[in-house]
Structure 1
């Protein structure tokens, strides 16, 4: 038996009075989080949740996230964390595709995205955070009612190491998001591996500014932190000034961020906000997007703290490589494979490329997902003989450090979030005045890449840039919709009619 909820349950049993999470003026101990998670589990079991049933949640970085997350796991379910910026249609898609039996969400949510639940008859149970649904009588219950009405005595359903613990949605070149099935073993071992890498300590204090629905924060901070009894300071929405203030107030020792967060912290320093991070932070981590060497070096010069960069994907739980603390930090490198993980560089035929040549990163180890939920063909495309091909092109130096040099896919990384052009193109082309569209990423100093759409209008149309942007904003999450639109009479194509996006860059 192995259950990811052990990361909480074991620590709660050993040190129930120790502070687990801090969010604003709310503080909960491990014992309190564990008891509340037990009530959530009892609620789900009372609703006939079966082992392996999937339960979705849309919750920001607030104390309720770990309560619901571990409650689902304690009941033997699989957690489906959803991006908090999804809109109603996107929520409905994820609930339907995952086959979610229940849905926990904040109300009111952004544009009432929770109403996606109403569009999916197969998702039977709704639990809201905060207010009840006064305009939808008889629909759902509140988390407060769940916690009040269900006992908090210990519960931990038996699950096997190979059972699915978490389904993380990630897009691909086919456009529609796919759910990566991560097992209890995937998640537990990757978190424990991180604790070894970081020399994790019970007296560590993490600032959790990355969204907990993302695999980075989930594994490296929530699961790894809870396993050793560290305290998590939750920041629901990243703000550089507030982040610096929280680091000082709570004596934060571990910070994990994406490159744009480090860029924003540097800007606040330039605005005159001085913080001695060297006297606080034991370690700063970066992932999810390539960290510019200039940002790394400026951060070290300004704050006196080096940034250790790593690499991972949702499909790999997530961490694959990391710049180890006991070895020299290579600027611009994603580091070396972590314990138990193999990495090689391959060509399009899955053959290993000669030493010194760039190739696509392929990964094998305990961290590789079971596969894409309900998509055996898509799984077969990316996994062969246990090796997962990442779609990222890299090189390796003589000391075994890897360096990302390009992406094999058209993936856009905007502020640390993955944006897949085809998904956007399918939405934008549905506009009645759009004839053809191609979406690409263009370099942006602040967020890494910005989303730009090249559009051919329908004959006679006078569609304006701001109108199409507004139309897209209503249908896509805030990090996805294009901020830039360029209208053209033609778009470059090859002989078969395939758009040549490289000619647009």
Structure 2
């Protein structure tokens, strides 16, 4: 299959009159229309003094405009999609950390990001849908910068330019910036396309958020690199999923395990919809899928479930189970599906198959390194291999199984949460002396957020009070669902507070 190194090249593959983007009850957008929108956006950004390598934060709801904005902005500058549910404090951290030059919001937006952009003197661009088809838009400059004439590099982004920038959660430090070049993201989109054997005849039903690497690469760039179409929903909604299936007539969808579990719970009363719209396959990634759910889903949809393994630093996909007739192994994340994958010991030696160690990767989809973080880069790269922080084992046939997380990130239904970030918010409460945030096993979400708290002497606070305190400054998915008040938090042999194993120690 073709390989691309820029998003202009990637979008060129679709036939002019082929449908690129669709959405519920809307006029579709053709590849010709999407390419025209990409060129129009490039010209508009350049006219606003924004060019190659300039960071443009995107705060838009999920849907076709977000999809189109990403492939259009990343073709001219560096796209930095942010979760629209963030609170003001979170927007301030991310917009400052990114050194954003502009912020894109929908016309009429009331996002707290607007006040932060004003405070940080970031120019705001309003996105207004146009009538060429769903996802087509125009950008308007709301607040031209006070100082004009600042230098910028016009024209389409080059392969080595950073096309996408995302933060990854760090447990022992602030979230790290992961810059992904156009080569990285185009390579990864091609890897997913090839692994799933996507063609122009396919149609994906996208229910994944488009501020996450999973949705951006597997939900968006993979199908676009095959010239196929994407039905863009406003985000996952179990009550609307089967209605969307009827309207979209998809051949596949990708999701995280918690979404699949909700879908399979409603499959029995929607078997007519499933029978009328047979899927070629279903894909799962972002956290491990219980084998029982794989069996249920395959039985309900009468199609294979393809489980894959991805992370932001790899521009998503690293390994995946292959499509039939090749072998799928439930509980395994499959074989290398893009980058080279190996197992390494703590000394940096590659291990033979059948031995447990750290999963390492290298290839054109892997980031060249974290931004402004020499310490993290020194720890992450060994002899040209990127250390994933996950522990695993590879069998004689190259099938990879993840045996544990070396990192302490909490993965709540595929949403990655930095415990340190939650710690720092709770520590701001006047009654809190010490806090350790940690993952608590959860049947459906994989993990839930918990926190152990020691209060200052002579003060008092309730669980409800601390949750409300956190809710003002953290997105809902990061707020601890369980807060324990302790006299002392258990420590390791060296006196360090330990997150891993804390849930078990506390009997949760």
1:127 is paired with a residue of what secondary structure? Answer: strand
The 3 A distance-change label for structure 1 pair 43 and 257 is same
2:185 is paired with a residue of what secondary structure? Answer: helix
> Residue 85 of structure 2 aligns with which residue?
85
TM-score, normalized by length of structure 1?
Answer: 0.89
The 3 A distance-change label for structure 1 pair 404 and 31 is same
1:158 positional shift: 4.4
1:25 positional shift: 2.1
1:234 pairs with 2:237: no
1:274 is paired with a residue of what secondary structure? Answer: helix
**Equivalent-residue separation in structure 2 for 1:163 and 1:49 (angstroms):** 14
The 3 A distance-change label for structure 1 pair 165 and 217 is same
Q: Quick check: 352-361 or 461-470, which moved more?
A: 352-361
Would you say the 8 A contact 1:2–1:159 is kept in 2?
Answer: no
* CA distances 1:42-87 after superposition (whole Å, capped 9, x unpaired): 2210122232111111223222113322222332x11111122222
**Equivalent-residue separation in structure 2 for 1:206 and 1:424 (angstroms):** 35
1:277 positional shift: 3.1
1:240 is paired with a residue of what secondary structure? Answer: coil
Would you say the 8 A contact 1:259–1:290 is kept in 2?
Answer: yes
1:250 positional shift: 1.6
Would you say the 8 A contact 2:467–2:480 is kept in 1?
Answer: yes
> Residue 445 of structure 2 aligns with which residue?
447
1:5 is paired with a residue of what secondary structure? Answer: helix
Count residues in correspondence: 479
Q: Quick check: 486-495 or 349-358, which moved more?
A: 349-358
The 3 A distance-change label for structure 1 pair 356 and 227 is closer
The 5 A counterparts of 1:72-221 are: 72-75=73-76, 77-106=77-106, 112-121=112-121, 123=122, 125-129=123-127, 144=138, 146=140, 157-221=155-219
The 3 A distance-change label for structure 1 pair 102 and 355 is same
Q: CA RMSD in A?
A: 2.3
2:239 is paired with a residue of what secondary structure? Answer: helix
1:349 positional shift: 2.2
Would you say the 8 A contact 1:117–1:126 is kept in 2?
Answer: yes
Q: Quick check: 184-193 or 285-294, which moved more?
A: 184-193
The list of structure 1 runs, each at least 4 consecutive aligned residues, that deviate by more than 6 angstroms after superposition, is none
> Residue 71 of structure 2 aligns with which residue?
70
1:429 pairs with 2:419: no
1:207 positional shift: 0.7
> Residue 148 of structure 2 aligns with which residue?
none
**Equivalent-residue separation in structure 2 for 1:63 and 1:500 (angstroms):** 43
**Equivalent-residue separation in structure 2 for 1:317 and 1:289 (angstroms):** 16
The 5 A counterparts of 1:242-281 are: 242-269=240-267, 272-277=269-274, 279-281=277-279
1:228 positional shift: 2.2
Would you say the 8 A contact 1:33–1:66 is kept in 2?
Answer: no
* CA distances 1:198-221 after superposition (whole Å, capped 9, x unpaired): 111112111110111111121122
**Equivalent-residue separation in structure 2 for 1:73 and 1:327 (angstroms):** 35
**Equivalent-residue separation in structure 1 for 2:261 and 2:378 (angstroms):** 38
> Residue 36 of structure 1 aligns with which residue?
37
> Residue 332 of structure 1 aligns with which residue?
331
> Residue 313 of structure 2 aligns with which residue?
315
> Residue 348 of structure 2 aligns with which residue?
350
Please list every run of 5 or more consecutive structure 1 residues that lacks an aligned counterpart in the other structure: 132-142, 148-155
**Equivalent-residue separation in structure 1 for 2:311 and 2:85 (angstroms):** 20
* CA distances 1:235-280 after superposition (whole Å, capped 9, x unpaired): 212111311221122211110000001100122235x333453652
Would you say the 8 A contact 2:24–2:247 is kept in 1?
Answer: no
Would you say the 8 A contact 2:23–2:232 is kept in 1?
Answer: yes
The 3 A distance-change label for structure 1 pair 277 and 328 is farther
Would you say the 8 A contact 2:278–2:301 is kept in 1?
Answer: no
Would you say the 8 A contact 2:391–2:402 is kept in 1?
Answer: yes
The 3 A distance-change label for structure 1 pair 468 and 107 is farther
Please list every run of 5 or more consecutive structure 2 residues that lacks an aligned counterpart in the other structure: 130-136, 142-153
Would you say the 8 A contact 1:248–1:275 is kept in 2?
Answer: no
The 3 A distance-change label for structure 1 pair 109 and 417 is farther
Which of 3, 6, 9 is the equivalent residue of 2:6? 3
TM-score, normalized by length of structure 2?
Answer: 0.89
1:410 is paired with a residue of what secondary structure? Answer: coil
* CA distances 1:309-364 after superposition (whole Å, capped 9, x unpaired): 0111100011110111141110001000024x211111222222354221110001
